[in-house]
Structure 1
C-alpha cells in the first residue's frame, strides 16, 4: 500500500493519504477556479478513511459555499489542503500538496465551465461522470 505525505504552505497542517486515489483529474468549475485562484484545479479523490491529519488538526479552517464541498485550509498561512465532498463520499486532496504522488489525470470535469481549453486527449465531461451523479456527457477537446 502506498502512502503520501502532504502539508499546507507553512507546514502547520500535515497529513498523509494511504492506498490509491479513487480518481485523479482536473476540475474547471467556477468554484474550484475561484478557490484555487487558477484557471483549473488538479484533484486527487480519496476515500475519507485514507486521509489522516498528523499535525495541526485544530488549525484547519472550513468553508462550505454549497453542501457539495467543504473546503479546508490552514488558519496560519491560508494554504489550501483538501475538500470534503459528502455527496460523493470522497475527499479531494489537492494534487499539488502531495509531492510524492505520481499525478495521472484521467478526466476533466465541469469542462462546460472552462476558461482555459486543454488539448491533452483526456475525456472532457460537461459536468461529472454519470456514476458520480453527473450527466455523463462528454464535450469535444
Structure 2
C-alpha cells in the first residue's frame, strides 16, 4: 500500500500491475452464474470502483477482454490467465476482484443475484434476488 487510500494489486504472475485509489463504491458478493463460472468458484467477492480510481501501472499490453453480454467486459492477463477486472459500462463502474488487492480490507455490504446461490451464507448482510433497485434491479430482498 502506498498511501492509506491507494492500494496496489496485480494479476497472478505480476505482469499486470495496477493501483486503485480512494474508496470503493460498494463491496459484496455476487452469486450469478456468470461470475461463478468466470471465477471458477461458488461465489465472487467484488469491489466496485469509479473508472478514474483505477490506474494500470504495468503490463497494459497483457490485458485481454471478453464480453459475454454488453453489461460486463471481463479482463485478464494473457501471460498467466489471472482474472483482474470486470468493467460494467451501464453502471459506470469497474469490479476489481477483491482477491487481487491484497491490502484492501474487504468489508462486504450485500449479496447480489442471491437466487442463483450455490453456497448460501448466513452473515446478516442484505441479500438481493438480483440487484438493488437504484442500479436497475428489482430491489427484492431474500432471507438467509
With normalisation by structure 1, the TM-score equals: 0.99
2:110 corresponds in structure 1 to 107
Residue 14 of structure 1: how far off its partner (Å): 0.3
2:45 corresponds in structure 1 to 42
- In the TM superposition, structure 1's runs of 4+ consecutive aligned residues that sit over 6 Å from their partners are none
- SS of 1:134's equivalent in the other structure is coil
2:82 corresponds in structure 1 to 79
1:52 corresponds in structure 2 to 55
1:90 corresponds in structure 2 to 93
Taking the aligned partners of 1:138 and 1:96, their CA distance within structure 2 comes to 26
Taking the aligned partners of 2:135 and 2:60, their CA distance within structure 1 comes to 29
2:22 corresponds in structure 1 to 19
Stretches of structure 1 lacking an aligned partner (at least 5 in a row): none
Q: 1:131 aligns with which of 127, 131, 134?
A: 134
Residue 17 of structure 1: how far off its partner (Å): 0.3
Taking the aligned partners of 1:27 and 1:76, their CA distance within structure 2 comes to 26
Q: Deviations over 1:27-64 (max 9, x none)?
A: 00000000000000000000000000000001000000
CA RMSD of aligned residues (A): 0.6
Residue 135 of structure 1: how far off its partner (Å): 0.5
With normalisation by structure 2, the TM-score equals: 0.97
Taking the aligned partners of 1:128 and 1:34, their CA distance within structure 2 comes to 19
